Chains A and B, each alone.
Chain A
Amino acid sequence: MPGTYIPSEYLPILIALMAATAIVVGGLLFGSILRPRRPYPEKLLPYESGNPPVGEPRERFSIKFYVIAMLFVVFDVEAAFLYSWAVAYGNIGLYGFWGMVIFIVIIFIGYAYDWKIGALDWKDANEDKDKDKDTKEG
C-alpha cells in the first residue's frame, strides 16, 4: 500500500542528519554561552589581514566569475557522473562506454565553444570579441 510505506532503510540517514544539525547548532550555542564579551571598536572591525577595511563590503562582481562558476558546475556534474558510471561499468558494457563517450563529446563541444568565443579569457578579450560580433553582418 502506497500510503503506509515507511522507508525504514533511510533511518540512518535521518539520524546522521539530526546529529550533524545538533553538533553545529550545539557548538555555536555552547560557545556563545561560555565566551566572555568585552567589545571595543577595533575588535568589532572585520578582520582583513590586519589592514583597516576600505569601502563597503557589498560590491558588484564581474560577470566573469559567474561564467567560470557555471563552467565549474558543468565539469563538476560531469565528474559526478563519471564516478557512478565507473562503478557500474562492469555491468553496462559497450553500451555504457559509448554512452559516456557521447556525453563527454557533448560536454567537450560546449567547452570548445566557450573557449573559442573567449569565455575563458579573463582579460578584456571577451568584451572586444563581443563588440566585434555585434557589428559584423552576416
Chain B
Amino acid sequence: MIVPIPDLTPVTPEIIMTVSAMVLLMLELIVKNKSIIAFLGIATAGAVFYVIPMSYGETFGGMFISDEFSAYFKFIFLINLVLTILISLKYIQRQKSNYGEYYSILLFATAGMMIMASAGDLIVLYLGLELMALSTYILAGIKRHDIKSNEAAIKYFLLGAFSSALLLYGISLIYGLTTTTNIYKIGEYLGEAGASPAVLLSMALIIAAFSFKIAAAPFHMWAPDVYQGAPTSITAFMSVGPKAAGFAVIVRVFYVAFAEVQADWTAILIGIAILTMAVGNIMAIAQTNIKRMLAYSSIAHAGYMLLGIIAGTQAAVEAMMVYILIYAFMNIGAFAIIILLERGDELKDYEGLAKAHPLIAAIMLVFMFSLIGIPPTAGFIGKFYLFKAAVDAGYTWLVVIAVIFSAISAYYYLRVVMNMYMKELKEEAPIYLTPSLGLAILITVLMVIIIGVMPSTVSG
C-alpha cells in the first residue's frame, strides 16, 4: 500500500506563507536592514493574495478545504498582516524591539490563521490555532525589556494554554463519541445518531475555547491586560486576526459539525453575546487608557459579531463577515493613530489634539464615529447589515439590546472626540509620521469612508 501524494494546490497559499516566513527568518540573520524584511513580508502577502483564488479545492482526505468562505477570511488576514507591517515599521524600532523575527512571526501567525480558516478537520484546526497562538504569545512579549509586555505575554500564554486544553478535551470527547475528527463526518454522524449529553459537553468545551480566542465574556479577561501590555502594532494585529480566525472556525465547526444541536449552542451563544456586549461596553466607560478602552471595545464588537452566528441565516453570516472586514479597517486605523501620536496611551493625552493636528484629529474622529456606527461611515453599514439580518431572523429583542449597548458605546468613543476637540492643548504633541504609517492610515480611513458611502463595494 503506497500512499499517493496528495494534491497540494489547495494548500499553496499556506505553503508560500510558511516558506516565506522561514526564509525571512534566515534572511534576518544576514540582512541588516529590517525594512527589507518588512517589504518582503508585504510582497509575500501579495503573492498569497494572488494565489488564493486559484487554490480552491479539498485535499488531505478532506482535512483541508479551500473554498470561497476560507478565501474571504484569508483575505482579511492578509489585510491585517499588511496593515500591521505598515504600522510597525518605525514603531518597533522606537520600541527597541527591532528584531527581524518580528515580521517572520507575523507571517507564521497569519499562516496559522489561514490554516484555521481552511480546516476541515479538528486536528488541523488545532494545529492552525496553536501556530497562530504561539506566534501571538511571542509577539505580545516582543518588547523583551518591558515588564508590561512580558506580563502580557505570560498571561496570554498561560490562559491560552488553558483554553487550548479545553479545546483538546472537547475534541477528544467528540472523537470518542463519533470516532472521527473530520468536521463534516462529525456532522453526518450526529445527524444520524442524534445528540447525547456528551456531545453537549464537548460542544460547551469547544465554545469556551473559541470564546477565548474571540475574547468573548467570560473568557475575555486576558484581553485588556494583553492589549495594553503588548506593543501597539501587535495589539492592532491581535484585535483583528485571531478574532476573525476564531469566527471562521466557529462558523465551520458549529454550522457543520454541531448542526444537530444548533438550538443548544445558539442558546449558549446568546448568553455569551449579551454578557460580552455588556462587559465590553460598560467596562470601557471606566477606562482611562485608550488601548485598554479599545480592548474592551473589541470585546464589545465580538459581542455584536456573535449576533451573526446566532441569527443563523446565510445573510447573517455574510453580514458578520462584512462586519469583521469593516472592523479590521476601523480598528487598525484607530491603533495606527495611537502609534502616530505616541504621546502616551492615556485618554488625557488626546486633549486639544484638534488644535495641534486638525487632520489627524479629524481622521481619529472618523474612526471613532465608525466604531460607534454613525453614518456615513463603514461602521454604520456593518452594524446595519448585521442588525437587519438578526431582525429578519427573528431576534429583534437581541438587536434591541445590541443597539442599546451601541448607544452606551458612544459615550466612551465620543469622550476621545471630546478630549480632542473641546479641551485645551496642554503640551506639545509631537507626531511620528512615516511614509508607511501614513499609507496605512490613508488606506484605513479611505476604506472606512468608501465602504460607508458605497457599501456595495463589500456587500457583493
Contacts and interface: CB of A to CB of B under 8 A. Distances in A.
Asked whether any CB of A lies within 8 Å of a CB of B in the complex, the reply is yes
Contacts of A96: 3
Interface residues of A, number: 21
B32 A138 contact: yes
Chain B contact surface mostly? loop
Nearest to B94: A137
B5 interface: yes
Interface string B83-95: 0000000000100
B4 A95 contact: yes
Contact of A109 (B3, B26, B99, B193): B26
Contact of A117 (B6, B29, B198): B29
A111 to B, nearest CB: 12
A106 B18 CA distance: 10
Given A92-B2, A95-B5, A138 B98 contact: yes
A91 B25 CA distance: 34
B341 interface: no
B34 A93 contact: no
Contacts of B282: none
Given A95-B4, A106-B22, A138-B93, A116 B32 contact: no
A113 B29 contact: yes
B191 to A, nearest CB: 14
A88 B179 CA distance: 23
Contact of B3 (A2, A91, A133, A134): A91
A137 B93 contact: yes
Interface residues of B, number: 28
Interface in A79-138: 91-96, 106, 109, 112-113, 116-117, 130, 133-138
A94 B193 CA distance: 40
Interface in B197-212: 198
Nearest to A131: B145
B3 A138 contact: no
A112 B26 contact: yes
B130 to A, nearest CB: 14
A134 B96 contact: yes
A3 interface: yes
B154 to A, nearest CB: 13
A106 B22 CA distance: 8
B178 interface: yes
Contacts of A106: 22
Contacts, number: 50
Nearest to A130: B144
A116 B93 contact: no
Contacts of A92: 2-3
A2 B194 CA distance: 11
Contacts of A94: 5
A109 B6 CA distance: 25
Contacts of A138: 32-35, 93, 98
A133 to B, nearest CB: 6
Nearest to A88: B3
A96 B1 CA distance: 12
A58 to B, nearest CB: 20
Contacts of A3: 196, 198
A93 B33 contact: no
A130 to B, nearest CB: 8
Nearest to B89: A138
Given A2-B196, A91-B2, A95-B4, A109 B32 contact: no
Given A109-B25, A138-B35, A91 B1 contact: yes
A88 to B, nearest CB: 9
A13 B34 CA distance: 54
B312 to A, nearest CB: 26
B2 A93 contact: yes
A34 to B, nearest CB: 42
B31 to A, nearest CB: 9
B110 to A, nearest CB: 17
Nearest to A137: B93
B177 interface: yes
26 contacts: A2-B177, A2-B193, A2-B196, A91-B1, A91-B2, A92-B2, A92-B3, A93-B2, A93-B3, A95-B2, A95-B4, A109-B25, A109-B26, A112-B26, A113-B25, A113-B29, A117-B29, A130-B144, A133-B98, A133-B99, A134-B145, A135-B96, A136-B32, A137-B93, A138-B33, A138-B93
Sorted from nearest, which 9 A-B pairs have the closest CB atoms? A138-B34, A93-B2, A95-B5, A2-B177, A116-B29, A138-B98, A92-B3, A109-B22, A95-B3
Given A91-B2, A137-B98, 15 more contacts: A2-B178, A2-B196, A3-B196, A91-B1, A91-B3, A95-B5, A96-B3, A106-B22, A113-B26, A133-B99, A135-B96, A136-B32, A136-B98, A138-B33, A138-B35
